[in-house]
Structure 1
Amino acid sequence: MNGSVLLLLPMILPFIFGLIIGFQKEEKQRNILVFIAMAVEAALVWYLCSGEMQTFVLWRISDRLALVYKTDGLARFFACLISTIWLIAAVFSMEYMKHEHKPARFFMFYTFSLAALMSLCFSENMMTMYLSYEFMTILTAPLVIHTGTPEATRAGLKYLGYSFFGAGLGLMGFFFLNTYCRTTIFMPGGTLDMAMVAGHENLLLVVFFLMALGFGCKAGMFPLHAWLPTAHPVAPSPASAVLSGIITKGGIIAIIRVTYYLFGVDFLRGTWAQTALLVLSIVTIFMGSMLAYKEKLLKKRLAYSTVSNVSYVVFGLMLMCPAGFMGALLQVVFHAVAKNILFLCAGAIIYKTHKTYVSELKGIGKEMPIVMWTFALAALSLIGIPPTSGFVSKWYLAQGGLLPQAGMLGLVGVAVLMVSALLTAGYLMSIVVNGFFPGKDFDYASLQKKEPNYLMTVPLVLLSIAVVGFGMMPAPLMQAIRSISGMIF
């Protein structure tokens, strides 16, 4: 072992805390432990990411068979985002899990999952990333299955099946990259050995396409998206929030590493593989929006929305230009914040009213005004209305799509983004309008104040402040992304 041992703590501490939390039956003490665990983890991650780049070698047989962690720019970007949102969602969960069985088990796996995500973020090479990716799948599956209903069990098995199949495609690619790369350590610009690649270009493009398709499963990209609208509605709402807002980004991390740090854009730009993945991302954006527009179950509507919105990120990444990359990483942050708000709002509504269908939400804004105002802000961000943050990411995605090198597919992508925004307005703002303005025929006498307590409302307000704050002052975040982009392009 060498390097800074502190870099191992973000992976170890959640497991230690998780084991303690899992055996803590007293609610108040358990909630205190959960908050301490999440707060310590977030503080540690921000501390590690604020200093010089560090590397820690946990285990090594050779350059390619090693477990190594590193705090490069991309790792810092995702680790800070994930640890912060995980803390905020945990606070909400303390109240929400009162109406679910076995909350200790939920919080144990919730904490374990954070360890796997940190391992994924800080992975320095392909082997570490692959193992972390698989652990992320295994440790998050109990969050999907938590309620124990037959539907939840089926959804959990579907989640595992799709995820393992997608990861299997990634493992297959690892075998090929071990042969055709100078190293499987992530290096900006890629590590392909072009002398070895010569004559095998099409084979490597097939490998890249299958790897991106496999890791795209976790991001909900067509055709491996079907687990997402099945798993999200059956999981407890805080789990749905982090599955949608954060776990889907695990697939994005893997796609970025494979595309920009192993294959390299110089090899991929202008190829059929780039074109095929752009087409799949555009299809997913449109399909997800259409299915969300038609869906009547609230959490399933939000799940289909995630299918669409996360593929905005894939579209930006596959443009393989600085503007597209900027839009993609901005979308990572802004979607994570907005979608956590929406799922947590759905959780608050279910917790206080037990209503699960969109048609039941007329007048809900009168009963739960804070919840529905935060829902409205998140909806505006996903649509892309200024000054919310979603406008900024969509601006850069459009800029990338309109560049001459993006060609006709770039123009089609921008058009689909606009259509998707209109559909998003239809399936989200209709909930807001009916919630605040239920109509003359509505029985206003039946309304009662049902606002949840501070453990639910404070996280929603904090995330809503971020939605507007990032939209009005995106410069610091953009600077962080430029530092990553500058190393790649």
Structure 2
Amino acid sequence: MNYSIWIIPAIFFPILCGAAVLILPVFRERTRLLRMTGISLAVTAVLALLVVTGGEQELLLWQFGENLKLYFRVDALGRLYAVLVSLVWVLAGVFSFEYMKHEQEEKRYFGFYLIVYGVLLALAFSGNLVTFYVFYEIMTLTSLPLVLHTRTREALMAGMKYLFYSLCGAYMVLLGIYFMNQYAATLDFTAGGSLDMARVSGNEGVLLVIAFFMILGFGVKAGMFPMHAWLPTAHPVAPAPASAVLSGLIVKAGVIGVIRTVFYVIGPDFLRGTWVQTTWLVLTLITVFMGSMLAYREKLLKKRLAYSTVSQASYILFGLALLQPQAMTGSLLHIVFHAIIKSCLFLSAGAIIYRTGKTQVDELTGIGKEMPVTIWCYTFASLALIGIPPASGFISKWYLATGSLESGISVFSWLGPVVLLISALLTAGYLLPITIKGFLPGADYDYKSLKKLEPAKTMTIPLAILAALAVLLGVFPNPLTAYVSGIAGAVL
């Protein structure tokens, strides 16, 4: 069976459904809106699964000239990202059904939520740099309304910051595409890179500058220093389910962009041992430490989690910058684990806000007594993010540290594990006090006025699934580890 015929429906079905939700007045009625959203999410997930299980596929949508074409190809990396997007997007969508009751403009929220789902699948299935860039830009524009949703002054300023930083990064990438079109044999994603070394000869210095700009450009979305400032501003102002997918998946789109550029167009051999690799490593370690320290000092819960994303995303970028198979395996594992863990943490924060209205960490004393299921899910996800064995985060960080030690890169081979360890301690310092004070509020806590505030099952079930995955993927890591090791082995 030709599974490539499902690529177009998988991408454009949710986009069309989202557009219908935005345009048609019939979806002002909440029951119809939720039914349409639920059916659209389920059908899209099935379509994506058909594409993912269909093996290597490709589909040319449009072509202008030799290299300018919209071209889809399903490979191992694309399948990994598509499955991850579908899993988190559906669970966060189900969570939204209840959560969005206390927000306004549900019609607009669910319309854009469906559109962005389709756009992210297009990113996953992009077969070349041009296609990836087109949908990367569309992703920025269509996810902007999720940031702006509340339309408060804070949200508007955060949205403008998100747009400004994203466009700056996109222009860096666009500059790179112009040059890659001249010096690469093809812009199609090719394992190991596609630079034509005969054309590159004599222009290595220019290509290194362009490579750095492209890494920095995609690094904007991944929150890498010095282009990170938009992330802790934009993510906290969005509704909690939107914050979950922004931190869990849209940040990873920048990471996927870096992987596609470095390992599928430029080629790791061209960067190994150059100033670009050294500078990239420096920026990632700065970001890891800085993000953890800022999260440790932050008192606003969602902003604390956003700073945490800044740090954790650069764990991934650090592993990629080492250009070493084990480290890259750790990075690919952390893409999956962090998406699941951070989505669980943001949804837990959303459940707390929805039921109590509390947004500050200092206000959460005794919250474990009031919302035990929610806080247990938060706790398991926190342990996984810290890297406590046998939870999932331990596995990815083990590969990152081992890959760093075996990389042989002076200073960074030992400095990387040291910074990761310090960051893990800081992660415990900013996540676990909520659990400890939540379940052990002390003698001063008013037990007599205790109320059970657990949210509806449409919120707790997605939380429980994500928390369970955060642990179980660490207990049974071998299938996923073997899969991502194959990706790393193919490009290195």
User: Counterparts of 1:221-236 in structure 2 under 5 Å?
Assistant: 221-236=224-239
Q: Distance in 2 between matches of 1:35 and 1:407?
A: 52
Choose which of 443, 446, 450 in structure 1 pairs with 2:446. 443
How far the C-alpha of 1:461 sits from its partner, in A, is 0.5
Moved more, 333-342 or 434-443: 434-443
Choose which of 25, 41, 50 in structure 2 pairs with 1:38. 41
* C-alpha spacing 1:33/1:3, structure 2 compared with 1 (3 Å): closer
Conserved 8 A contact 1:233-1:240: yes
User: Counterparts of 1:199-278 in structure 2 under 5 Å?
Assistant: 199-278=202-281
How far the C-alpha of 1:322 sits from its partner, in A, is 0.7
User: Counterparts of 1:56-95 in structure 2 under 5 Å?
Assistant: 56-95=59-98
Task: Give CA deviations for 1:86-129 in whole Å, capped at 9, x if unaligned.
Answer: 00000000000000001010000001011111111111111101
How far the C-alpha of 1:9 sits from its partner, in A, is 1.3
Answering whether residue 184 of structure 2 is matched by residue 194 of structure 1, we say: no
Q: Distance in 2 between matches of 1:314 and 1:454?
A: 36
- Aligned-pair identity in percent equals 52
Map of 1:470 onto structure 2: 473
CA RMSD of aligned residues (A): 1.1
AA at the equivalent of 2:193: G
Answering whether residue 362 of structure 2 is matched by residue 359 of structure 1, we say: yes
* C-alpha spacing 1:63/1:479, structure 2 compared with 1 (3 Å): farther
Gaps of 5+ in 1: none
Q: Distance in 2 between matches of 1:359 and 1:444?
A: 18
Conserved 8 A contact 2:4-2:51: no
SS of 1:60's equivalent in the other structure is strand
Map of 1:54 onto structure 2: 57
SS of 1:221's equivalent in the other structure is coil
SS of 2:70's equivalent in the other structure is strand
SS of 2:28's equivalent in the other structure is coil
Map of 1:388 onto structure 2: 391
Conserved 8 A contact 2:15-2:119: no
AA at the equivalent of 1:122: F
Conserved 8 A contact 2:59-2:72: yes
TM-score by length of 2: 0.98
Map of 1:413 onto structure 2: 416
Moved more, 119-128 or 287-296: 119-128
AA at the equivalent of 1:458: I
Q: Distance in 2 between matches of 1:219 and 1:252?
A: 6
Q: Distance in 2 between matches of 1:38 and 1:321?
A: 37
How far the C-alpha of 1:31 sits from its partner, in A, is 1.4
Q: Distance in 1 between matches of 2:473 and 2:320?
A: 21
Q: Distance in 1 between matches of 2:413 and 2:241?
A: 36
SS of 1:69's equivalent in the other structure is strand
Q: Distance in 1 between matches of 2:410 and 2:338?
A: 26
AA at the equivalent of 2:482: Q
Choose which of 154, 162, 174 in structure 1 pairs with 2:177. 174
Conserved 8 A contact 1:367-1:451: yes
AA at the equivalent of 1:60: Q
How far the C-alpha of 1:6 sits from its partner, in A, is 1.9
Q: Distance in 1 between matches of 2:453 and 2:419?
A: 39
SS of 2:61's equivalent in the other structure is strand
AA at the equivalent of 1:411: W
Conserved 8 A contact 1:176-1:207: yes
How far the C-alpha of 1:446 sits from its partner, in A, is 2.6
Q: Distance in 2 between matches of 1:320 and 1:41?
A: 35
How far the C-alpha of 1:389 sits from its partner, in A, is 0.4
Answering whether residue 8 of structure 2 is matched by residue 8 of structure 1, we say: yes
How many residue pairs align between the two structures?
A: 488
Q: Distance in 2 between matches of 1:396 and 1:366?
A: 37
How far the C-alpha of 1:67 sits from its partner, in A, is 0.2
Q: Distance in 1 between matches of 2:65 and 2:5?
A: 20
Q: Distance in 2 between matches of 1:19 and 1:138?
A: 14
Conserved 8 A contact 2:291-2:311: yes
Map of 2:21 onto structure 1: 21
AA at the equivalent of 2:361: V
Conserved 8 A contact 1:3-1:55: no
How far the C-alpha of 1:476 sits from its partner, in A, is 1.2
Task: Give CA deviations for 1:147-173 in whole Å, capped at 9, x if unaligned.
Answer: 010110110010000000001100000
SS of 1:405's equivalent in the other structure is coil
Task: Give CA deviations for 1:276-303 in whole Å, capped at 9, x if unaligned.
Answer: 0011000000000000000000000000
Map of 1:372 onto structure 2: 375
Q: Distance in 1 between matches of 2:250 and 2:257?
A: 12
Map of 1:115 onto structure 2: 118
SS of 1:332's equivalent in the other structure is helix
AA at the equivalent of 1:163: S
How far the C-alpha of 1:404 sits from its partner, in A, is 4.5
TM-score by length of 1: 0.98
Moved more, 110-119 or 31-40: 31-40
AA at the equivalent of 2:190: M
SS of 1:185's equivalent in the other structure is coil
AA at the equivalent of 1:4: S
